[in-house]
Chains A and B, each alone.
Chain A
Amino acid sequence: MVKQLTVFLENTPGRLARLTRSLGIAGVNMRALMIADTAEFGVVRIICDRPEAAKDALEEAGFSVSVTDVIAVAVPDRPGGLADVLEVLGADDLNVEYAYCFMEQGGSCAVDVFRVERVADAIRVLGDAGIRVLRAEEI
Chain B
Amino acid sequence: MFQPEYEMMDRERLEALQLERLNSLLARVYETVPTYRRKFDAADMVPHVSSLDELAGVPFTVKDDLRAAYPYGMFAVPMSEIVRVHSSSGTTGQVSVVGYTAGDLDRWSDLMARTFAAAGGTRDDVVQIAYGYGLFTGGLGAHYGSERLGCATIPISGGNTKRQVHVMKDFGTTILACTPSYALLIAETARDMGIDPTQLSLRAGVFGAEPWSENTRAEVERQLGITATDIYGLSEVLGPGVASECECQCGLHVNEDHFIIEIVDTETLQPVADGKFGEVVFTTLTKEGIPVVRYRTRDISRIVPGECSCGRTFRRLERLTGRSDDMLIIRGVNVFPSQIEQGLLGIKGVAPHYQVVLSRRGSMDQVEVQVEVSPEVNFDEVKTLERLRARVRAEITSALAVSIGVRLVEPRFIQRSEGKAKRVVDLRAEGSE
Chain A interface (Cβ < 8 Å from any Cβ of B): 6, 8-10, 36, 38, 40-41, 43, 45, 62-64, 66, 68, 97-98, 115
Q: Does B54 contact A (CB under 8 A)?
A: no
- Chain B contacts for A38, CB-based, 8 A: 382, 385-386
Q: In the complex, A63 Cα to B375 Cα: how many Å?
A: 10
Given A38-B386, A41-B385, A64-B375; A10-B380 close (CB under 8 Å): no
Known: A6-B380, A10-B409, A40-B407. 5 other contacts (CB 8 A): A38-B385, A41-B407, A64-B375, A64-B379, A115-B381
Interface stretch of the complex, out of B25-33, B291-299, B410-418: B410-418
Query: Which chain B residues in 351-403 approach chain A with CB under 8 Å?
Result: 373, 375, 378-382, 385-386
User: Does A41 lie within 8 Å of B411, measured CB to CB?
Assistant: no
User: Does B412 lie within 8 Å of A62, measured CB to CB?
Assistant: yes
User: Does A64 lie within 8 Å of B373, measured CB to CB?
Assistant: yes
- Chain B contacts for A41, CB-based, 8 A: 385, 407-409
B385: contacting residue among A43, A66, A98, A115, CB under 8 A? A43
- Chain A contacts for B380, CB-based, 8 A: 6, 43, 45, 66, 68, 115
Q: In the complex, A120 Cα to B412 Cα: how many Å?
A: 35
| Chain B nearest Cβ from A71, distance in angstroms | 14
9 of the cross-chain contacts (CB-CB < 8 Å) are: A6-B380, A40-B407, A41-B408, A41-B409, A64-B373, A64-B411, A66-B379, A97-B381, A98-B381
Q: In the complex, A97 Cα to B384 Cα: how many Å?
A: 12
| Nearest B residue (CB) for A66 | B380
5 A-B pairs with least C-beta separation? A6-B380, A68-B380, A8-B379, A64-B411, A36-B382
| Chain B nearest Cβ from A68, distance in angstroms | 5
- Chain B contacts for A68, CB-based, 8 A: 380
| Nearest B residue (CB) for A67 | B380
Interface residues on B, range: 10 to 19
User: Does A43 lie within 8 Å of B382, measured CB to CB?
Assistant: yes
- Chain B contacts for A97, CB-based, 8 A: 381
| Chain B nearest Cβ from A3, distance in angstroms | 12
Chain B interface (Cβ < 8 Å from any Cβ of A): 373, 375, 378-382, 385-386, 407-413
User: Does B410 lie within 8 Å of A64, measured CB to CB?
Assistant: yes
Q: In the complex, A12 Cα to B412 Cα: how many Å?
A: 15
| Nearest B residue (CB) for A70 | B380
Q: In the complex, A62 Cα to B372 Cα: how many Å?
A: 13
- Chain A contacts for B386, CB-based, 8 A: 38
Given A8-B373, A10-B413, A38-B386; A43-B408 close (CB under 8 Å): no
- Chain A contacts for B385, CB-based, 8 A: 8, 38, 41, 43
- Chain A contacts for B413, CB-based, 8 A: 10
- Chain B contacts for A64, CB-based, 8 A: 373, 375, 379, 410-411
| Nearest B residue (CB) for A63 | B410
- Chain B contacts for A43, CB-based, 8 A: 379-382, 385
| Nearest A residue (CB) for B411 | A64
| Nearest A residue (CB) for B409 | A10
- Chain B contacts for A10, CB-based, 8 A: 409-410, 413
| Chain B nearest Cβ from A69, distance in angstroms | 10
User: Does B410 lie within 8 Å of A8, measured CB to CB?
Assistant: yes
| Chain A nearest Cβ from B410, distance in angstroms | 5
| Chain A nearest Cβ from B162, distance in angstroms | 16
User: Does B408 lie within 8 Å of A40, measured CB to CB?
Assistant: yes
| Nearest B residue (CB) for A8 | B379
User: Does B379 lie within 8 Å of A6, measured CB to CB?
Assistant: yes
- Chain A contacts for B409, CB-based, 8 A: 10, 41
- Chain B contacts for A9, CB-based, 8 A: 410
- Chain B contacts for A66, CB-based, 8 A: 378-380
| Nearest A residue (CB) for B405 | A40
Q: In the complex, A63 Cα to B410 Cα: how many Å?
A: 8
| Chain A nearest Cβ from B95, distance in angstroms | 36
| Chain B nearest Cβ from A111, distance in angstroms | 19
| Nearest B residue (CB) for A4 | B380
Q: In the complex, A16 Cα to B75 Cα: how many Å?
A: 58
Of the listed residues B381, B386, B411, the one surrounded by the most CB atoms of chain A closer than 10 A to its CB is: B381
- Chain B contacts for A98, CB-based, 8 A: 381
| Chain A nearest Cβ from B161, distance in angstroms | 15
Q: In the complex, A97 Cα to B378 Cα: how many Å?
A: 14
| Chain A nearest Cβ from B407, distance in angstroms | 5
Q: In the complex, A41 Cα to B399 Cα: how many Å?
A: 25
Q: In the complex, A66 Cα to B410 Cα: how many Å?
A: 13
| Chain B nearest Cβ from A22, distance in angstroms | 14
| Chain A nearest Cβ from B164, distance in angstroms | 20
- Chain B contacts for A63, CB-based, 8 A: 410
| Nearest B residue (CB) for A69 | B380
